[in-house]
Structure formats: C-alpha cells, structure tokens
Structure 1
Amino acid sequence: MENELKQLCKRMRLAHVYDYVIQENGSEGFYNELLQCLKYEQREREIAKANRLLKKAGFRTHKRLVEYEWHSQMGIPTSITREELEALEFVHHRENLIFVGTPGTGKTTLATALGIEACMNGKDVQFYRVMDLVDKLQKASQKGTLARARKSILTCDLLILDELGYLPIDKEGAELLFHLLSDFYEERSLIVTTNLEFSSWNKIFQDPRLTGALVDRLIHHAHIFSFAGTSYRYTNALSQLKK
C-alpha cells in the first residue's frame, strides 16, 4: 500500500504529501483513507481534463466508440487489428489512418469516435473539415498570424481532417495545408476521411508534384481503410419514409 501511495503521489506531483505521511508514520487505516482520497482526486482531474479536451477538439457529433456500428463492408487493413485501433495504438506510434469511401458509410463517425476516445485518454485532439482548416490558414496568412495559427494546431496529438476531396483547394491553400501536414510527419497522428482514391487526389490540389509529395508523407506510416456500401443517411431516410 505504501508503494502504491508513493507512486500515486509521484504521478500527481504531490511529493511533499508523501514525505509528510512517511514522517508521521501513520497507521494502515490512515494510509488507506489517504490513498482513497487521492484516487478520487486523480479521477476527478482526469474527468475535468477530458471535458476540456472534448470542448477544445471541435467535434461536430459525439457518438462514442462503443456505439459505433461496425459493418462487413468496411475493409480493415491487415496492418492493424480492431483491438489495436480501439486501444489507440496508432496514436501511441504516431501513425496515420486514411478512411477512403463513398459518402455516408461511417468514415466521419468512426474518425470522431476515435478522437473522442483519444480525448478521454488525455490526448489533445483537433477536428476540422478540410476546407475549414484551409480557410483558417489562409486568413491567418493574410493577417500575418500564420505562425501562431500553425503552432496552435501543431500542439495536438491527433489531427482529424474530414471531407478531403469534396471541393478543390486553390494553390495557396494547398501549399499551406501541405506545409502543415509535412510538420506532422512522424511527429503526430492524422486521421483523414476522403471520398476519393489516391489516384484522384490531383483533382483536389491541382498540382501533381505537391499531390505526390503529400500522398507519400501521409501513407508512409498509415493504415488505409476502405468503406463501401449504401449510405447510412440514405438508408435511414428510406426507413423513415416507410413508417
């Protein structure tokens, strides 16, 4: 019990509390009561931190991973198991996830659920629709605050980029996005959702050289998932019409 208390005080940065306990040479009951109090304090700190991270992340939905409907038409790559995915191994190893597939097949929902799980585990996550991020970078560049904007993004452990490919990006925006994502390479994790195969990404960035370099960085340490099937939103709309 004494060792457990020592380790807990160390994690909570309460070294002087532990020193006081040792000096007082308290009873086992005293040790146990203090240990339970500190465990409670630690849990409350973790909950408060998770809530701050969730608020900061900018998620558009809040469906948890335990609620996600895994389906047979999702292609999970052999490079990662579902258990490793749910345990956020890719974040610990600074790897990327690329979700490729038609709209409405669960890409954004899974990306968000993984992001929420990361927040619950104390990770700093930021969620952006790609065009919103490009707009943010361009406005910061025009105002002369690009370095500050980039720094605020580069502090996160996981960046989720949603809807890559729905709209083309102009040359300036493409270059700003490329330089930002290059700084993530082997340093932090990315989740990218897209409706386009890699061979069609040149339609987004309109620059073969830049597109090739970006794809190379993204897929070097990436697990690529394929999503197929009928849109959940379409299926749900049909079911509502039949009622």
Structure 2
Amino acid sequence: MSPVITRGADLPADAGHVAGRSSSELVSHIAYLARVLKTPIIGRIWAELATQAREEHWSHEEYLAAVLARQVADREANGTQIRLAGAHFPQVKTLEEFNVDHQPSLRRDVLAHLAGCAYIGRADNVVLLGPPGVGKTHLALGLGLKAVQAGHAVLFDTAIGWITRLRDAHTEGRLAAELKRLRRYRLLIIDEVGYIPFDSAAANLFFQLVSTRYEQGSMMITSNMPFGRWGEVFGDDIAAAAMIDRLVHHAEVITLAGDSYRTRARRELLARDPAAATRTTPPATGPTD
C-alpha cells in the first residue's frame, strides 16, 4: 500500500505546480514559499541570482546551490552576532591583534591549535597564567571570539562577577538550576582569578562551578597567580589543589612572562621623548591584561 501523504493546512493545493504560471504569479509564489520556509534572504536574492544564472549559463544545480549558500551565510552571520552579544565580552579583541613577538614564551603552534577550538569539542580547559599586563585577558577574549565564530555559546565574566552570579543564585535557592543553565554554554571564561582573595563561601561556590564543568564543558581561566599560590586565593591549600586537579586534568596551561605592555609602552615612549615624563600620556594600545 502506498503511503498517505497529507498536505499542510496552510499549503495551497497547487503549491507544488509551477509549470504554466505567469511571471508575476511565479514571483508571488516564490515570495510565499520563502515566507513559509522562513528564509527571507532567498525571498530577496533569488531574482538577482536568477538573472546572473541566465547570463552565466549556470546549471539548475549551480543556481540552487548559490541561493541556498546565501541563505546559510546570512543565518550563520546572524547567529554569530547573537552569540557575540550573549558572550558579554567587555570589548572585542582578536588574536590577530595580539603581538606574539612580545611573548616569546607563547608558542605559535599552541595558539593556532587553540584558535581551531577543537578543545571545546573535548570539553578541555585553557588556563592562562602570568603577571599583570602580559596579555592574558586579550588572549582570552581573542580565543573566546574564535569560539563564537565557530558556532559555540560562550559566556565571559571576571572571577568576582562569576562569584556574584553564583552567590545570588545560592541566596535565592536556585544554585543547582543556575549551574544546570550554564551547561548550555560550551565555554565559560573566568577572568582575573587571584586579584581578590575569596572567602570560604565564595571558594565553595567556585569549586562547585569547576566540578560541574569537569569533562562536561570547557573553561578558560586567567590568573596572575601561579598554581602554587592558589591556596592564598581560595583560603585553603587542599581545596585549591582539588580545584586545580579538575582544571588541569584535560587542559592547556600557558604561562606568559615578560613586562607589562603598559610598562613597556611607557618605557619606549620615554626613550623617544624624555620630556614625556612630565606630561600626561594616553594609555598604551597593547593587549589588555
């Protein structure tokens, strides 16, 4: 017995029949189909591409591929903008803007590997360590942007911002729900761990965040403190060790060294213009911390 095919209630009986229709009828019909399919780009560009196809003698398959490619490109671009807004980056920084020559400790092949975002698919972590001003935040923002462009949901905040978020959720009795909600993000970026010590309650909340992400979703953490001093940050060497163990089990740990970009820029300015020491100078344009 042949399968019974039912027609959607909103689809006209002759929706599939186009032969013999006038040009104006076809235009209206294509506009209708584009609305039904929710493909506005197709509705706008099909005629332009049809003209190009006739002039350049495209095959039917080439024309169809061109139309669909334009729709997909627009949808992906819109998706990138939505993900970028949802990431809450304080500013947009790209990896291409980062001066790797000022960071000889940073291997270019490692940076290129991370830019490919394969670590996110494995739920691996990235930890960026180093003193203030060496570009940790710039790298985190640049890698976060690469993740957004690759189609991943990303969420950025400082360590204090994350603790505030988790503390509020705990106070309102929805911590478990908040931790579950955060699983929708493939990458969480936690900036500036170590600048301000955590109290015991904050350390416990942070540990819960790390634990729920373990082998489930990627985290990227920047810190001015080496791992050996994380006990000072979290107020407990044992808790810090347990947290580090979960973070680095599947992680790329990068330790940056050297002078602060701001300090270097100031020193270079004074070398060129000693009188600048008595003037107010604009901030350096190098990477953020």
- TM-score, normalised to structure 2, is 0.70
CA RMSD of aligned residues (A): 2.4
CA contact (8 A) 2:100 2:106 kept: no
Counterpart of 1:159 in 2: which secondary structure? strand
Larger RCO (CA under 8 A, 6+ residues apart)? 1
| Structure 2 counterpart of 1:236 | 265
| Inter-CA distance 74–172: structure 2 relative to 1 (3 Å threshold) | farther
| Inter-CA distance 62–46: structure 2 relative to 1 (3 Å threshold) | same
Question: How far 1:206 sits from its partner (Å)?
Answer: 0.6
Counterpart of 1:52 in 2: which secondary structure? helix
Q: Distance in 1 between matches of 2:84 and 2:141?
A: 11
| Structure 2 counterpart of 1:68 | 98
| Structure 1 counterpart of 2:70 | 40
CA contact (8 A) 2:117 2:150 kept: no
Question: How far 1:63 sits from its partner (Å)?
Answer: 1.4
Q: 1:183 aligns with which of 202, 208, 212?
A: 212
**What is the number of residues matched between the two proteins?**
219
Question: How far 1:90 sits from its partner (Å)?
Answer: 1.7
| Structure 2 counterpart of 1:128 | 157
| Structure 1 counterpart of 2:87 | 57
Superposed CA deviations along residues 195-228 of structure 1, whole A, max 9, x for unmatched, are 1111100111112221111011011111111111
CA contact (8 A) 1:77 1:225 kept: no
Q: Distance in 1 between matches of 2:71 and 2:268?
A: 47
Q: Distance in 2 between matches of 1:233 and 1:44?
A: 39
What amino acid maps onto 1:56 in structure 2? Answer: G
Superposed CA deviations along residues 57-95 of structure 1, whole A, max 9, x for unmatched, are 0111211122221135453479x7333122122222221
Superposed CA deviations along residues 13-60 of structure 1, whole A, max 9, x for unmatched, are x9xxxxxxxxxxxx9732221211100000111111110110000111
| Structure 2 counterpart of 1:23 | none
CA contact (8 A) 2:129 2:226 kept: yes
| Structure 1 counterpart of 2:117 | 88
Question: How far 1:153 sits from its partner (Å)?
Answer: 1.8
Sequence identity percentage: 32
CA contact (8 A) 1:99 1:194 kept: yes
| Inter-CA distance 77–189: structure 2 relative to 1 (3 Å threshold) | farther
What amino acid maps onto 2:261 in structure 1? Answer: Y
Q: Distance in 1 between matches of 2:163 and 2:104?
A: 29
- TM-score, normalised to structure 1, is 0.83
Q: Does 2:167 match 1:138? A: yes
What amino acid maps onto 1:37 in structure 2? Answer: V
What amino acid maps onto 1:65 in structure 2? Answer: L
Counterpart of 1:209 in 2: which secondary structure? helix
Q: Distance in 2 between matches of 1:104 and 1:164?
A: 14
CA contact (8 A) 1:124 1:156 kept: yes
Superposed CA deviations along residues 169-204 of structure 1, whole A, max 9, x for unmatched, are 111111111011111111111111101111100111
Please say which structure displays the higher CA radius of gyration. Answer: 2
Q: Distance in 2 between matches of 1:138 and 1:71?
A: 40
| Structure 2 counterpart of 1:22 | none
Question: How far 1:234 sits from its partner (Å)?
Answer: 2.3
